[in-house]
A and B are shown apart, each in its own frame.
Chain A
């Protein structure tokens, strides 16, 4: 499979716990984006990387959120001290000049 891969696909966690999601982009894509999508809404931009450098972060990304892309390959998104409002689908996309290719997302449910 040469598409964007996200793991896990589903995550249920208790409020206050930390969670980490992983995104494996298409191998030759140097830009990687994270988005969050809540029910009935379109995806909202969170942050993006060019290679290993995190170039922009949305105001939506509170200090409980951190993202990394070591070595410019896969990326992780960590949420510390999860809150119920963090429940959403977290989408990753990797891009070339021709377009953005999205993974299937990680659905987070905070209970």
Chain B
């Protein structure tokens, strides 16, 4: 079945450091890929998405590129801020279009210190 594997946390960085959170997936066909973020006490929020190979999703300084050849969708940010502290989830949807039956990774806790 479909699965998502993301790097285990927690990840602790200093402000302005470079962030990478690795994510790889297994799926049949051509899934859509997502990064969700969960800030303390809040619900999951869509951070970015990519729906086909070589697409780059970006938002709030975060980027991820859909790499079909390596089945990866790594999250990056050039300079993190304290306000980026949250849990980040990589997810896929194999149904295409507006199907949001999502398969999630376990999440990576990011803490950014001033």
- A interface residues (Cβ-Cβ under 8 A, vs B): 3-4, 31, 33, 35, 40-45, 48, 56, 91, 93, 95-97, 99-105
Contact = CB atoms under 8 A, between A and B. Distances in A.
B24 to A, nearest CB: 14
B100 A100 contact: yes
26 contacts: A3-B43, A31-B100, A33-B100, A35-B102, A40-B106, A40-B107, A41-B106, A42-B4, A42-B105, A42-B106, A43-B104, A45-B102, A45-B103, A48-B100, A48-B101, A56-B101, A93-B44, A93-B100, A95-B100, A97-B98, A99-B46, A99-B100, A100-B102, A102-B44, A102-B45, A104-B42
A90 to B, nearest CB: 12
Given A40-B106, A42-B91, A99-B46, 11 more contacts: A31-B98, A33-B102, A42-B105, A45-B101, A45-B102, A48-B100, A91-B43, A91-B44, A95-B98, A103-B43, A105-B43
Interface in B91-111: 91, 97-98, 100-107
- Tell me whether chain A's interface is mostly helix, strand or loop, or mixed: strand
Contacts of A99: 46, 49, 100
Interface residues of B, number: 21
B25 interface: no
A44 B104 contact: yes
B107 A42 contact: yes
B104 A42 contact: yes
Contacts of B44: 43, 91, 93, 102
Contacts of B107: 40-42
B73 interface: no
Nearest to A93: B100
Q: A31, A40, A42, A96 — which one has the most chain B CB atoms within 10 A of its CB?
A: A42
Contact of B97 (A33, A56, A97): A97
